[in-house]
Amino acid sequence: MREFNYPIFTLGDKLTPEQISFFEEYGFVHFRNFVSPEGVSQIIKAMEAVQEKWVAENVEKVNGVPIKYGFDADGSKIVQRYAFASQHHPILHEFLLDKRFELLFPLLKAEGGRVGENEKDGLVINHYVNTDKSEFTQMGWHTDAPRDIFLGKKIGPMLNVGVHLDTCTPEKGGLRLIPCTHKQSLLGLIFRKKYFVDNTPDPNEIALSSQPGDLTVHDGRLWHRVAQASIKGAESRRRVMYVPIINGEYAPKNEKSPTPFYQRFMKIVK
């Protein structure tokens, strides 16, 4: 892992030239305090309400996207990966209407821009916890772009916006990314690493440490992974939400949408 003391910004009423050029150079940008502590606890409550319902109803897929379940440190069954969560709770839906997301659209470097609430996987929530019965402790190397290739589409511009709900220090694992890889060739995008199965640390990766309420934005073409925590149990908990910012033709999913190929395969990745 590379030491990289990158700047953590605050989002004002518009992006500053420094924030834009940092993103263009490195392929990601990190903002502190996007959501207040009260906002974070409301989001967590909403997430738990959705979880209670999905566990009770054993919801397997939402709009064709598999929902991942596992067990928490206390043995209770939990949702570890949600998709389209904002369609299932008003608080989460309202959160995505926050006008401040629009301030990020210029980073797309393309016409238009919208929050993909009903497209791709919608609002994803990842709940990692490192226990023996957890089904989600890490995520192998990938970029978020080839989902388009798997779906038979050209790679469109995409930002993946993360909202971090827990404190995350490198001991808790967390997001690792290789700065600047958003500028690679198409071959690099497809073949640099083995998608999702490779969990090996990269000499050029950096770790993102986050606090509850932080917002991160990464380019869909940037290589990243989620490292496993070196600690175990409830202390290792890391919850983070992602929503795509995209442009182009509106392509909402619905309950009849097929399960994308790569997601069938992701099921076997723990």
Ligand X SMILES: O=C(O)CCC(=O)C(=O)O
Q: In 3-state terms, what secondary structure has residue 231?
A: coil
Nearer to Fe ion, 119 or 144 (CB): 144
Nearer to ligand X, 50 or 240 (CB): 240
Nearer to ligand X, 126 or 236 (CB): 126
* Residue 112: C-alpha distances to residues 109, 120, 245 (Å): 9, 17, 10
Chain residues 156-195 in contact with ligand X, contact rule CB under 6 A: 162, 175
Nearer to ligand X, 57 or 129 (CB): 129
Encoding tokens for residue 162? Answer: 């993360």
- 212-238 CB burial, b ≥16 within 10 A, e <16: bbbbbbbbbbbbbbbbbbeeeeeebbb
The reply on whether position 124 binds ligand X by CB under 6 A is yes
The reply on whether position 214 binds Fe ion by CB under 5 A is no
Query: Which position among 144, 202, 205, 214 is part of the footprint of Fe ion (CB under 5 A)?
Result: 144
Beta carbon of residue 127, minimum distance to ligand X (angstroms, whole number): 9
* Residue with tokens 């392929």, as numbered in its chain: 27
Q: What's the start-to-end Cα distance of the chain, in Å?
A: 22
Query: Which position among 22, 95, 223, 242 is part of the footprint of ligand X (CB under 6 A)?
Result: 242
- Chosen from Fe ion, ligand X, none, partner binding at 78 (C-beta under 5 to 8 Å by type): none
Beta carbon of residue 142, minimum distance to Fe ion (angstroms, whole number): 6
The reply on whether position 226 binds ligand X by CB under 6 A is yes
Cβ(201)–Cβ(1) below 8 Å? yes
Length of the chain in terms of residues written: 270
Query: Which position among 125, 139, 177, 217 is part of the footprint of ligand X (CB under 6 A)?
Result: 139
Stretch that binds Fe ion, among 30-38, 138-146, 173-181, 233-241 (CB under 5 A): 138-146
Nearer to ligand X, 19 or 210 (CB): 210
Query: Which position among 89, 224, 237, 253 is part of the footprint of ligand X (CB under 6 A)?
Result: 224
- The CA-CA-CA angle for residues 42, 160, 229, to 5°, reads 70
Q: In 3-state terms, what secondary structure has residue 255?
A: coil
Cβ(86)–Cβ(96) below 8 Å? yes
Residue 71's DSSP bridge partners are 77
**Contact set with Fe ion (CB under 5 A):** 144
**Contact set with ligand X (CB under 6 A):** 124, 126, 139, 144, 162, 175, 224, 226, 240, 242
